[in-house]
Amino acid sequence: MNLSLEYKIREPKIKLDKNPLILLLHGYGSNEEDLFSFAAELPDEYYIISARAPYNMQYGAYAWYAINFDADENKFSDHQQAIISRDLIARFIDELIQKYPIDAKDVTLVGFSQGSILSYAIALSHPDKVQRVVALSGYVSEPILEENYLRNDFTQLKVFHSHGTVDQVIPVEWARKTKPFLDKLGIQSVYKEYPIGHGVAPQNFYDFKNWLQEK
């Protein structure tokens, strides 16, 4: 069975009838090796799968969607490509559930930066496919959500999101708007900030790992 995306996998060390899944979604210009470095530290009962974004930027760098700059160096995201990636990942989740004994009711997305923006988009567009989101250094981008997402049932969805206070790539102000946005939808979320730039601090990793284990 050929799957929609290239990926790396760590099989669960504790085999159940159906195991939970953590799907890792890397940032712009990275690849599936990046977040896979977390795999050894994540709980033993999970399938840990790290997906590679579909747009090849050469030299081992990939993107979920293009980021373009105009003459004044304003930054624009290619929303059309982002929507294609959103749907591709949603399909990939279905394919993984078909291929491996994964519990379809226990799926967590862990995304960094662009992967985090897409994690929100998938969970808000398809809360039937995703139960938890760990969104590191990202924000909700409304133009890439399904048109009728407000009709969705978010009662089972939980979010851990975090940001660096001196993030030079995605301003912390953008991330701070996300908690009120999720609150308005009635989505349970925990938001934390760390005194770092665009990255994942060790404390950040332990906080989201503990959050996962509590769930």
Residue 215, pLDDT > 90, answer: no
pLDDT for 66: 86
pLDDT for 208: 94
CA 67, 133, 46, 98 torsion-angle sign? negative
> What is the set of domains in the chain, with CATH numbers?
67-214 (3.40.50.1820)
Q: What is the CA radius of gyration of the chain?
A: 16
Model-level pTM?
0.95
Q: How far apart are CA 5 and CA 28, in angstroms?
A: 16
> CB–CB of 181/150 below 8 Å?
no
pLDDT, one tens digit per residue, over 140-192 is: 999 999 999 999 999 999 999 999 999 999 999 999 999 999 999 999 999 99
Q: How far apart are CA 210 and CA 97, in angstroms?
A: 25
Position 2 confidence tier, pLDDT thresholds 50, 70, 90? confident
Instruction: State the angle between helix axes of 79-99 and 114-125 in degrees (0 to 180), rounded to the nearest 10.
Output: 70
pLDDT for 75: 62
Taking every pair of Cα atoms in the chain, the longest distance, rounded to a whole number of angstroms, is 55
Residue 21, pLDDT > 70, answer: yes
pLDDT, one tens digit per residue, over 37-92 is: 889 899 999 999 999 999 999 899 999 998 765 555 566 678 999 999 999 999 99
